[in-house]
Structure 1
Amino acid sequence: KVSTRPTMSERKAFILSEAEKLNAASQNSLLKVLEEPPEYCCIILLCTRLEKLLPTTKSRCQIIRFTSIAEDRIIEELKEMGVKQKHAQYWANLAQGSLGLACQWAKLELADTNLYETKKELISSLSTCEFADALNLAQWLSDESKKIAAAWTNLDEATSKTDINRKAQKTLVQIIISALHDAMKLNLAGTKRVINFDQKEQIKNLAKRFDPEQSAEKIADSYKTLRWIESSVNEKLIFEQLLLNLATFDTIEVS
């Protein structure tokens, strides 16, 4: 396709999302066209983990770093899509400056997935989760993840089912991380500005359960879970391990 001249305009562009997922063989196959692209062609590799690209790939590209988009702008964009003000503010907070991510969650919300209500139920459950509740909550998370993935598939038919399942799982883990981060901030600075501004009582409960150091450990556990998701570890086991750790004051190590 790169060798075919454009017919509708003077130039054409190819955008490759999630370039960090390309294996070495795939990246090597791109080297020649990256080094000597046709004059009418622009090739853009979107990447969130630059270290995953081979040095030979990076040396043939001009690296442009995108900064975070202002929260107010994201909120306005989501409201124009039809998202309620309160919901738009939350998704903008959670997206941490990523308009694309916020829009994906907003589309799910508008597709009647009840994603915002799922988020509220998840954080409420987390704030009172005991060890005996962990496995049931893990099963609920697994079920909700499947519902989100099913809706996501209808919205993004071009993306593989495996990648969509991962995105759905990671969304729920990111919500958990946001609550733990809020609890840590509340303990350290007593700040009123939190991501989960709509569930301050639940965040206060989490702050009472975990001191800043414990919250930091739980956040680290959650990021480990994100890496397991990328490695295709069994979904149910991932959530069970995460919730069992969150329901205790010590970390359970898996050998």
Structure 2
Amino acid sequence: MEKLLPTIKSRCQIIRFALIDEERIIEKLKEAGLEQKKAQYFARLAEGSLGAATQWAQLELADANLYQTKKELVDSLCNLQYADALELAEWLLDESKEIAGTWADLDKTTSKTDINRRASRTLIRIIISALSDAMQLNVTAEKGLTNFDQKEQIKKLAGRFGPEQAAEKIADCFRTLRWIDASANEKLIFEQLLLNLAISGRMKV
């Protein structure tokens, strides 16, 4: 679906298939050569989509360092100050370009523009996953966190954003995804999102 032109996608009917069990996705990713922790993370980030998880695994195996990028991004989010937002946005833009470059080497049939969008969307999904984990931690137990490998950072993020505020930040992220699809300036998109994320009702910035 991602390889179709926007004008074609707008005329397509989306048929939803059943989500694939997390353990099955993990096994597939491990068979491809990914270690357990990374396989589990990408399986949870993919939310039942074997296709998405496989793409991220291929990136990781091609030395795109996507997993390390996600760890650094989650670290940065839980400590984000307003004064640091623009610098983090610049870093995020650079990481997006690096990921897109590796993705383009793996996928010769998709346009550069669509590859760039895909890379940016992946980074926003990582941010969404961290905020969703923080929201979950505020209302339920920590079992099933996407970022299970960074529980302390998620706890810190949960202390920064209450459930309602986390939900608002997640909504900001989904608006960002729509701007990415609309081909808005990625630098400005990342800056606006991170400036919004730096504002917290529980932490002085």
TM-score range, shorter chain: over 0.9
Unaligned runs of 5+ residues in structure 2 are: none
Alignment of 1:161-200 (within 5 A): 161-200=112-151
Measure the CA separation in 1 of the matches of 2:200 and 2:133.
Answer: 18
1:102 corresponds, among 53, 60, 63, to 53
Task: Report percent identity of matched pairs.
Answer: 64
Distance in 1, matches of 2:47 and 2:150, equals 18
Please point out which of 21, 24, 35 is paired with 1:70: 21
The 3-state SS of whatever aligns with 2:16 is coil
Distance 1:107 1:18 in 2: 16
Instruction: Report the Cα offset of residue 21 of structure 1.
Output: 4.5
Question: Aligned ranges for residues 49-198 of structure 1 at < 5 Å?
Answer: 52-53=10-11, 64-198=15-149
- For the pair 1:234 / 2:193, whether they are aligned, the reply is no
> What residue identity is the alignment partner of 2:54?
C
1:211 deviates by 0.4
1:223 corresponds in structure 2 to 174
Supply the distance in 1 between the matched residues of 2:100 and 2:16 (Cα, whole angstroms). Answer: 30
| 8 Å CA contact 2:19, 2:49 repeated in 1 | yes
The DSSP-based 3-state class of the residue aligned with 2:146 is coil
Where 1:159 maps in the other structure, the secondary structure is: coil
* TM score, norm. by length of structure 2: 0.93
Looking at structure 1, the residues matched to 147 and 6 of structure 2 have their Cα atoms a distance apart, in angstroms, of: 35
Task: Give secondary structure in 1 for the equivalent of 2:123.
Answer: helix
Name the structure 1 match of 2:152: 201
Alpha-carbon displacement from aligned partner over 1:165-187 (angstroms, at most 9, x marks no partner): 00000000000000000000000
Of structures 1 and 2, the larger Rg is shown by 1
**Alignment counterpart, residue 164 of structure 2, candidates 210, 213, 218:** 213
2:89–2:190 Cα contact (<8 Å) kept: yes
Q: Give 1:19 deviation, angstroms.
A: 8.1
SS of the residue aligned with 1:170? Answer: helix
Question: Any idea what SS the aligned residue of 2:63 has?
Answer: coil
Q: 1:168 to 1:22 in 2, by over 3 A?
A: closer
CA distance in 2, matches of 1:239, 1:164: 17
Cα shift readout 1:159-211 (whole Å, capped 9, x = no counterpart): 00000000000000000000000000000113322000000000000000000
**Equivalences, count:** 201
Displacement of 1:249 after TM fit? Answer: 2.6
- The alpha carbon displacement at 1:219 in A equals 0.1
The amino acid of 2:38's aligned partner reads: H
Contact 2:3 2:114 in 1 (8 A): no
By relative contact order (CA 8 Å, sep 6+), the higher-ranking structure is: 2
Residue identity opposite 1:131 in structure 2: Y
Q: Partners of 1:192 and 1:107 in 2: how far apart?
A: 27
